[in-house]
Amino acid sequence: MEVVLRGVHKVYKTGPRPNKVLDGVDLVVPSGQFVAVTGPSGAGKSSLLYLLGCLDYPDFGEIHLGNRDVAKDGESLREKIRLRHIGFVFQDFRLIPALTVLENITLPMQLAGLSGAESRQRARELLRLIGMERERDQMSGVLSGGQKQKVAIARALANLPELLLADEPTGNLDTASTREILEVLQSINKSRTLTTIMVTHDPQAAQFAERTIELDRGRLREKGHESAR
């Protein structure tokens, strides 16, 4: 899915003074590209992902996901877009600990109306993709951090989205798990036409992307880097 931002502004007005986080952001991400977004803490990286993920509206500007400007869409349509076209991965995994690995992955499919048999079949394929077929029936609460994040990635892919948004996906992981998760993200990005936008503090993590952009003082700046791909 191609992602295009034009003149996106976001100001939070909850504090004593308005906090202008995005100040006319323009961006074109071609379909299937893997982009890293870096920038200092508080720069607005998560805010940018929330806007892309239809979790919040900009104050001004266009956010095109494929051929729709989702900034103009109503909440009920945006909810459908979130469920069917966008996958989210968070730093803190956000699995449901009392559900098994399989149940965590099939949940979004059931919300999208897939039958139990179809969901389980697709979940098994996703488990193969992340190399966790053996953990299928374990409670997700007992998994290691790296395993949890792999399950969270499989869950994010449950409804075969065209856009994957990851906010510090390796922020809670050790070096070995970080590498594993980045390799999983890289390989699913290569094997699908999945546009991937990953926020990270870690310059080495950013090397796994094809392109790095830095968010600073409300604007995006391209950062050239040697790709590790």
Ligand X SMILES: Nc1ncnc2c1ncn2[C@@H]1O[C@H](COP(=O)(O)OP(=O)(O)OP(=O)(O)O)[C@@H](O)[C@H]1O
How far apart (Å, rounded) are the C-alpha atoms in residues 219 and 111? 36
**Residue 137: which residues within 8 A CB-CB, separation 6 or more?**
100, 101, 102
The residue to which tokens 């989210």 are assigned: 88
Find the binding residues for ligand X in span 44-63 (CB under 6 A).
Answer: 44-47
Minimum Å distance from CB 229 to Mg ion?
25
Tell me: does residue 43 bind ligand X (CB under 6 A). Answer: yes
Angle between helix 101-111 and 116-129 (nearest 10): 130
Find the binding residues for Mg ion in span 38-77 (CB under 5 A).
Answer: 46
Nearer to ligand X, 132 or 198 (CB): 198
Tell me: does residue 21 bind ligand X (CB under 6 A). Answer: yes
How many chain residues bind ligand X (CB under 6 A)? Answer: 12
Per CB under 6 A, the list member of 18, 30, 42, 141 interacting with ligand X is: 42
How far apart (Å, rounded) are the C-alpha atoms in residues 27 and 20? 18
User: Where do contacts with Mg ion occur on this chain (CB under 5 A)?
Assistant: 46
User: Where do contacts with ligand X occur on this chain (CB under 6 A)?
Assistant: 12, 14, 19, 21, 39, 41-47
